[in-house]
Each structure stands twice: as C-alpha cells, then as structure tokens.
Amino acid sequence: QKEVEQNSGPLSVPEGAIASLNCTYSDRGSQSFFWYRQYSGKSPELIMSIYSNGDKEDGRFTAQLNKASQYVSLLIRDSQPSDSATYLCAVNPGGGNKLTFGTGTQLKVEL
C-alpha cells in the first residue's frame, strides 16, 4: 500500500464548475497535510495546508481533512482553465520536515 494515494486522473471539469481532488494516507499519526500545484515543466507550488479536522478555505480553494478516515481533499470552486495542472497531496508523518507526496492528480479545466 502506498503511503499517500491519489487518483492519477485526468479529472476533467468544465469552466466554472467545482473540481474535487481526493487523497488518502496510511500513517495514522500524521499531523500536517499540504496541497501543491504543479504546472507542466515547473516545480510544485504550495497552495493549501491543513492540520485540524474540518474545512479550511482560502479564496476559491477549500481543503478538507478527516483524520479518522485518513482522508484529505481539495475543492476548487469556479474552476478556471489556468487551474489546469497536476495537484499533489503531501503528508508530514512527523519527525522532521519530511513530506511524503502522492503521485498527483491531473486536472483539466475545459472551456
């Protein structure tokens, strides 16, 4: 079992729709969770972090965390073509600044 699992996609949504990206993790002791966006040919960029159960909103982005289910999600409202990228879920299992990444979900926002 992979430590951090994501559906590779591609996930296609029409412009203006809500995109829902999901991630599960195996280390129950993990405390901090991150979403990164990576455009083709670029390096990953941090877009959201979450540490407590529940929702955290930042502009069009909402991160959701359920530690009991070991599940993290990212919602993107009013999706734009510029949101087309690969979204990486990352988990810090503790013991330092080591992040374990999922393999990413490719999102395509279509006009």
Summarize as ranges the residues that interact with another protein (CB under 8 A).
Answer: 31-32, 34, 36, 42-46, 49, 51, 88, 90, 92, 94-104
Of 80, 46, 74, nearest in space to 62 by CA? 74
**Nearer to another protein (CB atom), residue 42 or residue 78:** 42
Minimum gap (Å) between residue 43 Cβ and another protein? 4
**Nearer to another protein (CB atom), residue 73 or residue 86:** 86
Minimum gap (Å) between residue 18 Cβ and another protein? 24
The Cα 63–Cα 22 span in angstroms is 10
Minimum gap (Å) between residue 49 Cβ and another protein? 5
Kindly report the backbone phi and psi dihedral angles of residue 81, in degrees, each rounded to the nearest multiple of 5, phi listed first.
Answer: -55, -30
The Cα 9–Cα 51 span in angstroms is 26
**Nearer to another protein (CB atom), residue 18 or residue 46:** 46
Token pair for 106: 């490719």
